[in-house]
Each structure stands twice: as structure tokens, then as C-alpha cells.
Amino acid sequence: MPELPEVETTVNSLHILKNKKVIKLDIHTKKLRYPVPHNKLKNIINSKLINLRRIAKYVIIDLNNSHSIIIHLGMSGRLKILKKDNLINKHDHIVFKFTNNKFLILNDPRKFGFIDVIQSDKINNIRYINRLGLDALDKNLSVKYLYNKFYKSEVLIKQLLLNQYIVAGIGNIYASEILFDAKISPLKKGKDIKKSQIGTIIKSTRKILKKAIRYGGSSINDYVSPDGTLGNFQNNFKVYGMEGSFIRGCQIKKIVLYGRSTFFCPKIQT
């Protein structure tokens, strides 16, 4: 699943479409995770794209008609920018044509993503947005904020980092990398995390996610940026997918927590 760095990279790649007008729209499916809002999408034709941004793992496309397109890429979705529409394949479900003869395509083989059209000033009122916790890169993410979420919790710290209602944007890959960088075991319960360790987690979160963005995200399964560029952060993983390897004299182990693969070094992460 594309995580915060991949979504941020996607948003950055879409700026070639800024100030361009949607002149045509083709919809090739009735349903992704949810039904595709055909009528709402048709109403954006002749609207200009004026801003691009990210909220957690959501791509937000603001238009000059006071509406915004919200896209979640699900497990295997991606956005593509093409110069020709004759390259459309069977997993290209929605195709936007812009005035610069560029095509923006929502591709999703597993159909776990979704697309929505919302009045721009109502976005923060949408249930799937307003329930989110602070963004993982939000400057307001503080020791006090996380301590209040963690200090009574029997839940393991890795699962707490994956809880989008606590911290928005972190996924399975980066949770393992963040905890390794912070030298904290994924098996430690929230209530056992000290305030000093929470500060370290915040520093490691910012360090890992910002570095991943600089490297264009991680391409280990399906992720490719809209311009076709592969992410490169997977070549900088310290523990994720490295089971059996040694780092600083410690052998990396793989366990399954809450149904998700987890990689860590027991001697380093305590």
C-alpha cells in the first residue's frame, strides 16, 4: 500500500497539471472500493486544477469550481500521467484529459482504492478525514500528544504507529524502519514507552519519512510515481524485508504482529 512518502511523491509529480483544465473524462468502471461517483466526476469537466496537496494517505486535487477530488490509492493503486490515451490498459479505471494534452489515469488492479468529489471547504468534515490523527510530519506532533495516546495502552507500539486515528500516514514498511531507528522493540506496549522514547520516535519518524520522500518513496510491489519513475528508498531499508541479515552484529528477525510482517533486531531494539 502506498504510504505517506509515496503519496507525497505522487502529489509532487502531479504539479505538471497545475493550472490546466480538465477537458474530457472517461470512466471505465462502476466500482472501486466504493461506487465511482460518475455524476460528480462529470461535473468537473472544464474545471481548472489549482492546487495539489496531501492529507495523510489521500491525494487532494483542488479545482477552481470550489470542489476537490479525493483519491486513495488503496493497496495497489497508482496515478499515471501519459501523453497519449492509446496506452490505456484494463486496470486504468478513470482517465482525465487536460488542456496540455496530458492524461491523468487512476490505475488500480485490485480495486481497493477509491475516488470522491467533495466541496473543498467541506473536506475536513468528511468522516474518513476528520477522524484522522495528526499527520506524521505535522509540526504539532509532540511528546505530550503521543504520551496521552500511549500511556494507558496495552497495544504494541508498532500497532499504535499504524493506527491512523493516532498518527496519520505511517504504514507497515515505515513503522518497522522507524522503530529500528529509534531502537525500540515493536513488542513493547504503549504503556511501557517512556516520554524520552516518544521523543525519539518522533525524531525517527521525521527522519525516515523525509528521507523516503527524497528518494521518491519505496518501490517493492506496485508503487511507481506518475511519471513512471521507481522509488529508491527500498535500497535504504535497514530491517524491512531483510530477515536473516546481520546489522551491527544483530540478526534481523521477522515476526507477524496483527497479521502484518514485522522486521526488527532484538539486540538493538529493546
Indicate which CATH number applies to the domain containing 246: 1.10.8.50
Domain co-membership, 172 together with 251: yes
Domain co-membership, 181 together with 120: no
Domain co-membership, 118 together with 147: no
Among the three residues 114, 130, 146, which one is the final residue of a domain in this structure?
Answer: 130
Give catalytic status of residue 127 as yes or no.
no
Alpha-carbon distances of 160 from 41, 96, 164, rounded to whole Å: 36, 37, 9
Helix orientation angle between 4-13 and 195-214, rounded to the nearest 10 degrees: 40
Give percent above pLDDT 90 in the chain: 85
Domain co-membership, 142 together with 229: yes
Residue 269 lies in a domain: no
The pTM score is 0.92
3-class secondary structure, 121: helix
Domain co-membership, 18 together with 51: yes
Give catalytic status of residue 131 as yes or no.
no
pLDDT at 220: 57
Residue 270 lies in a domain: no
Indicate which CATH number applies to the domain containing 109: 3.20.190.10
**234: pLDDT strictly greater than 90:** no
Domain co-membership, 18 together with 125: yes
From 111, 206, 211, 260, the catalytic residue: 260
Domain co-membership, 251 together with 158: yes
pLDDT at 72: 96
Domain co-membership, 187 together with 118: no
**162: pLDDT strictly greater than 90:** yes
Give catalytic status of residue 177 as yes or no.
no
Residue 221 lies in a domain: yes
Domain co-membership, 9 together with 122: yes
Residue 233 lies in a domain: yes
Domain co-membership, 123 together with 182: no
Residue 122 lies in a domain: yes
Among the three residues 130, 163, 194, which one is the final residue of a domain in this structure?
Answer: 130
From 54, 57, 158, 188, the catalytic residue: 57
pLDDT at 89: 83
Domain co-membership, 190 together with 168: yes
pLDDT at 227: 67
Q: Which domain holds residue 13?
A: 4-130
Among the three residues 97, 130, 163, which one is the final residue of a domain in this structure?
Answer: 130
pLDDT digits (tens, 9 = 90+) for 81-130: 988 766 678 899 999 999 988 999 999 999 999 999 999 999 999 999 99
Residue 254 lies in a domain: yes
Of the pLDDT bands very low, low, confident and very high (cuts 50, 70, 90), residue 236 is: confident
Number of domains in the chain: 2
**218: pLDDT strictly greater than 90:** no
Domain co-membership, 253 together with 146: yes
